[in-house]
Structure 1
Amino acid sequence: MLNQFQQTLKIGDLRSKLLFTLMMLLVFRVGAHIPVPGINTEALQQLLQGQLFGFFDIISGGAFKRFSVFAMSITPYINASIIMQLLTVVVPRLEELNKEGQEGKKKIAQYTRYGTVVLAFIQAIGMSIALGRSGAIANPGLGSYLLIAVSLTAGTAMLMWIGEMITERGIGNGISLIIFCGIAARIPSQIAGVGQEVSSGMAGYFQVVLLLIVVLVVIAAVVAMNEGQRRLPIQYAKRVVGRRMYGGQSTFLPLKVNAAGVIPIIFAMSLGMFPATIGSWMSPTSGFNTFINTYFNQSDLLYNVFYAALIIFFTYFYVAIIFNPLDVADNIKKNGGFVPGIRPGRPTAEYIDRVLSRLTLAGGIFLALIAVLPNIVIAITGIKSLWFGGTALLILVGVALDTMKQVESHLLLRSYQGFVK
């Protein structure tokens, strides 16, 4: 792998993309330490208690705990993307735009940006009011609320821009890499927290070893599932063009078990934290917050069932967006191909859809199990300082694999050996 990394640095274009990506992520890390003005940090620390807030802090790279300008992270953009994808199915005009190719997708992306700013401002206003009620604002008032809301909204807009720039001019998916970077930045403090629990006697070495084994199993399972695929055989009929005969060869259509990648996890994570966000707008002693703190934590059965259901739903939802069996079947038919034993056209599309649905179900259940399994183990071991659950592991491993594959494709394009053998 060291040799492949050296080859990567030798390619000017790829080296520029990597450096640009690293510079953008560095801007994100610097911004995570720029505090929002007018915040009483001591009162804020008392307010931000609970596992959901702890996990929110992890994905923001510590920005939420510091209440920096990037405190809301990229979640408003994710929520806006979910809403826009749903609207493309419901609203005919948006559905037409989605089918108009690159220009239509650019227009939808523009609407998503507008929606992100609106959602970010609404969420920021709610957080400002909640902070004012809890005494976390030094001088509460309309001016302070607006200043905090504008600062947080600007931070989210900045992250959205960074993510899009990485996707266009860097390596990997920008939004996923921002979340990846935030989670990775919190790993040292999470490990230190576990060490403190062990040294204080709150957790034993057996619990730590058990948790470590689960982490390694999760990583291995995610890698195996991301590489797993079902190969549908495709046979091409022979045809004569001029004096030459073409076709007649056999190939296959690869259908990935986990075609959606980490996107369902990110979507479910964003919606899973929505109740805690609503609760932050209310009094800490309200009935809603009492319910959230009691039943909506990572060790509770209700939360894990709800979270698993969201993951399975978004797995189907996202696969339906990125993969159209009818288009694939039409392309196969136009090129003179067919699936042995299946008629070309719509019967082939129905067959592909049937196989894909089974694979998606298996992939969704796998993602859900991996996401909630470490939460259950954490509840059993009693290591309460570790909010580094299955979701974080799935995102870390999934984004790392996707980014490595993008780098590998650049290397293979230039006849170099890739990372993944």
Structure 2
Amino acid sequence: MLNTFKKALKIPELRKKLVFTFLMLIVFRIGSSIPVPGIDVAVVKEAINQHGGAFALYDVISGSALSNFTLFALSVTPYITSSIIIQLLAVAIPSMEEMQKSGEQGRKKLASWTRYLTIMLALIQATALSIGMFRSALMSDSIMSTVAVVLTLTAGTAFLMWLGEMITEKGVGNGMSMIIFFGIVSRFPNDVKQTIALAKAGQINYIQIALFLLISILIVVGVIMILQGVRKIPVQYAKRTVGRSTYGGKQSHMPLKVNQAGVIPVIFASSLLAFPQVLQLFIKNPTYAQFVAKWFNGTQAPGIYVFSLLQFVLVIGFSYFYISITFNPVEVADNLKNANGFIPGIRPGKPTSDFITKSLNRLTFVGAVFLAIIASVPTMLYQATNVPFQFGGTSLLIVVGVAIETAKQLESQTVMRNYQGFLK
């Protein structure tokens, strides 16, 4: 990865893209440091500390912008949510599915709908934060003050969405992914500082730190192996003769990723588990508050064990659900048949789709269990070692996944530029 980065810096065009990406990410960090006017940040931090399980993931993704209640407090979560909604609707609604397959114009229209839905969701979330969850943090109860906070948060999300699209268009990597990646990584220096301070104070020992680092390295290695893991189903294309020319007869493969669902099931599970704690902010009932604090607390026993078990089960369930609506084995088998391709030993048509379904279910089980373990282990690791690196499974998957994809993109562009130079 470092060699790829060094080679990219030697190519003027890629160097410009890297500099542009870096400058845009600096703009993101500057915006993440500008507080929203009319908000008492101390009250927000206290509320997040009390209900950490509900806001921990969003605070990590935003690079602590939520706990500091800055311009980018909502981060790109409205955009992620709207993208998932549009993707699911494209599967459920035939007209949207045709639009998705119709080419560049159809995809541009869906992208436009995603932007509009992002603004709507940002407006709803900003309103919920301002007059619901953090109402006590408002310095003034006037309507104008509340509207100003809501519009500021919505505008921050809109600007961040534009920033991500500019990085995708003129920079390196996927803009939204790079923003999330940079937000997560930006917390590491502070975590290192806290760890050193706790070690000097004698609250944690160096054996705990060493154990934490060892397990963290093993987790990252496991994440890389699963993210890169692919089952290659062999595919043979039949020969056909047109005039004096013979076409086909080639051997290829159909790649099925072990982690076909990506990080989406973990996001779904985390959002569902956060719902009881979010509901607690609206239901002022001491009995309900004690129940949530005991059984849905992701940082203390016994809630941490119940939370982790529920998360494990939900991640597996959502993995199967998401893959079932985004991957159609029947369609894949039909496309293979239309291209005169077949899997050796498997008849075209229904037997092929059944074989792909069976293979996919096995891979999904492995990938789902992996996701569930990765989602639960970091929380348990933090509980066991007390090292204040409060990263979750979702953030770990995002960081490693974005790093791998960005390195691949840089490598492919470097190879392409080298070939162009050779041809010249």
Alignment of 1:395 with 2:398, yes or no, is yes
Distance 1:408 1:276, change over 3 A: farther
The TM-score, its normalising length taken from structure 1, stands at 0.88
> Match of 1:381?
385
The amino acid of 1:390's aligned partner reads G
The counterpart of 1:121, out of the listed 116, 120, 123, is: 123
When residues 267 and 178 of structure 1 are mapped into structure 2, their CA distance, relative to the original with a 3 A threshold, is farther
Residues 24-69 of structure 1, C-alpha deviations (whole Å, 9 max, x = no match): 2222111101110012233333223143334432221121122101
Change (3 A) 1:19 1:312: farther
Cα 1:214–1:252 change in 2 (3 A) is same
Moved more, 206-215 or 299-308: 299-308
Segment of structure 1 superposing worse, 69-78 or 267-276 = 267-276
How many angstroms apart in 2 are the aligned matches of 1:189 and 1:93? 49
Separation in 1, partners of 2:349, 2:264: 30
CA separation of 1:302/1:27 partners in 2, compared to 1, >3 Å: closer, same or farther?
A: same
- AA paired with 1:112? T
Q: Aligned residue for 2:297? A: 297
Deviation, 1:91, is: 4.1
Task: Report the CA distance between 1:289 and its aligned residue.
Answer: 4.3
Paired position in structure 2 for 1:419: none
d(CA) in 2 for partners of 1:238 and 1:96?
31
Alpha-carbon distance in 1 for matches of 2:390, 2:12:
40
- Compared CA separation, residues 341 and 83, structure 1 to 2 (3 A): same
Paired AA for residue 71 in structure 2: V
Report the equivalent of 2:212. 211
CA change 1:2–1:257 in 2 (3 A) is: closer
Measured against aligned partners, the alpha-carbon deviations of 1:271-305 in whole angstroms (never above 9, x if no partner) come to 5444444444555x655544443333334123223
1:78 aligns with 2:80: yes
1:12–1:321 distance in 2 versus 1, CA, 3 Å: farther
Q: Distance in 1 between matches of 2:286 and 2:144?
A: 26
Q: TM-score, normalised by structure 2?
A: 0.87
Change (3 A) 1:83 1:245: closer
Partner amino acid, structure 2, of 1:412: V
How far does residue 269 in structure 1 lie from its aligned partner after superposition?
A: 4.1
1: CA distance between counterparts of 2:312 and 2:101?
Answer: 31
Which one is further off, 91-100 or 152-161? Answer: 91-100
Tell me the SS of whatever aligns to 1:48: helix
1:237 aligns with 2:238: yes
SS at match of 1:70: coil
3-state SS of paired residue (1:71): coil
Instruction: Determine the structure 2 residue equivalent to 1:361.
Output: 365
Gaps of 5+ in 1: 417-421
1:398 positional shift: 1.3
Partner of 2:157: 156
Contact 2:316 2:368 in 1 (8 A): yes
CA gap of 1:182–1:269, structure 2 versus 1, over 3 A, is: farther
Q: 1:30, 1:275 → 2: CA distance?
A: 33
Matching of residue 41 in structure 1 with residue 41 in structure 2: yes
Is 1:179 matched up with 2:183? no
Q: 2: distance between equivalents of 1:394 and 1:107?
A: 30
Q: Structure 1 residue 161: deviation in Å?
A: 2.0
Alpha-carbon distance in 2 for matches of 1:179, 1:98: 26
> 1:152 deviation in Å?
0.8
Unaligned runs of 5+ in 2: 420-424
Query: Residue 197 of structure 2 corresponds to which residue in structure 1?
Result: 196
| Deviates most, 54-63 or 395-404 | 54-63
Matches within 5 A, 1:10-409: 10-50=10-50, 51-52=52-53, 53-130=55-132, 133-134=135-136, 136-281=137-282, 283=284, 286-299=286-299, 300-320=304-324, 322-383=326-387, 385-409=388-412
Q: CA 1:152–1:133 in 2, change beyond 3 Å: closer, same or farther?
A: closer
SS of residue in 1 equivalent to 2:235? strand
Aligned partner of residue 65 in structure 1, secondary structure: coil
- Give a deviation string over 1:107-128, Cα, whole Å, max 9, x none: 3332222222222222212211
**Which amino acid in the other structure matches residue 85 of structure 2?**
I
What SS does the corresponding residue of 1:63 show, helix, strand or coil? coil
Determine the C-alpha separation between the residues in 1 that align with 2:329 and 2:191: 43
> 2: distance between equivalents of 1:288 and 1:363?
35
Residue 422 of structure 2 corresponds to none
CA distance in 1, matches of 2:288, 2:103: 44
Q: CA RMSD in A?
A: 2.6
Following TM superposition, by how much is the alpha carbon of 1:139 offset from its aligned partner in structure 2, in angstroms? 1.9
CA contact (8 A) 1:77 1:113 kept: yes
Query: Deviations along 1:299-356, whole A, 9 cap, x unmatched?
Result: 4123223333443344334444554333433333233221111112332223222212
Give the drift of 1:270. 4.7
Aligned equivalents of 1:315, 1:20: Cα separation in 2: 36
Which amino acid is 2:158 matched to?
Answer: A
Q: Aligned equivalents of 1:217 and 1:340: distance in 2?
A: 37
- The residue type equivalent to 1:72 in the other structure is L
